[in-house]
Amino acid sequence: MAFKDVGARFMSRSLTYLDDSSKDITVLVATSGDTGGAVASGFWKVPGVKVVILFPSGKVSEIQEKQLTTFDENVKAIEVEGTFDDCQSMVRKAFLDSDFSSLNLTSANSINVARWLPQMFYYFFAYKQLKNKDKDFVFSVPSGNFGNICAGIVSKRLGLPVQKFVASTNLNDTVPNYLDTGIYTPKPSKATISNAMDVGNPSNFPRIQRLFQDSLALLKKEFVSYSFDDNQTREALKTLFHKYDYIADPHGAVAYLGAERFREKSPDTDVIFLETAHPSKFLNVVEDTLNIKIKIPSQILSVLNRASSKQKISTYDDFKSSLLL
């Protein structure tokens, strides 16, 4: 029910296909919401792979929590007292920790390119559906860890004739600020209604800089970025619903805002904005904002009825003992 599912599944199948060691692999993943569910279902019952998911306590939606805590067997969910960035830094630290060297650790976050390379498909698929292929067009991508937009940029390098990328963010505006000021200042993440993008230090942004030879001037030729708050996001949800009869989720709504902002200056350019999740994953926000009831798809209903299991921790040492158990 989110775009990450395709990438996670591709990665899980590639891992078992390509890994020729007889040792089990442990996949570590930090999630601000959606990644966990995608990875849990993508890796569920994959032989030779254990999955450990870290998520920030109280900061994922009810359905998201169900999606990441109900896959037993080889998938373990750890609830962290803290933010997404705390989860992500525990994961980063674990990779450098020699106490884990026996575990054969790998990452299923988008720091692992196997997660987002298959997402290039989306950009070509969207292009295929453009009615007028002679007109300039850009993509507006709702961005958190900037993996999806990386896939877009690599698609362009592979020949997709897109002009530019609009990185649309919520209040976590590290990248838009960088484009404005030239100074890159990662910040602690702020909680928003588009929580899968609550990232203060996007792990793929250094890759984007490298793709543009670490030159801000080169980057700016093909890349713009805007930030929007929750009120604007709610207004966008309403506009999409009332004007176009389309129920977006809050992340897609942020991308729509980026598309509209871009069109203010370039009205002759077509903008494709990416919708990244089914609105039922953000049920409370969408139903409250639009004053409607959303039909929950059967895939989600089946998860809601399953028993969840999780373990609560607060420090890196807790995490370590739980992992080395």
Report 190-219 residues binding ligand PLP (CB under 6 A). 196-197
> Any contact of residue 148 with ligand PLP (CB under 6 A)?
yes
Give the nearer residue to ligand PLP in terms of CB position, either 111 or 313: 111
> Any contact of residue 175 with ligand PLP (CB under 6 A)?
no
Active site (catalytic) residues: 4
Residue 107's identity, in one-letter code, is S
For the CB of residue 206, give the shortest distance to ligand PLP in the complex, in Å.
14
> Any contact of residue 164 with ligand PLP (CB under 6 A)?
no
CB 39 within 8 A of CB 108: yes
Q: Tell me the window of 20-28, 146-154, 173-181, 222-230 that interacts with ligand PLP (CB under 6 A).
A: 146-154
> Any contact of residue 251 with ligand PLP (CB under 6 A)?
yes
Report 2-21 residues binding ligand PLP (CB under 6 A). 2, 4
Give the nearer residue to ligand PLP in terms of CB position, either 50 or 251: 251
For the CB of residue 143, give the shortest distance to ligand PLP in the complex, in Å.
4
> Any contact of residue 1 with ligand PLP (CB under 6 A)?
no
Please count the residues of this chain forming the interface with ligand PLP, following the rule CB under 6 A.
17
Interface positions with ligand PLP (CB under 6 A): 2, 4, 34, 110, 142-149, 196-197, 251, 276-277
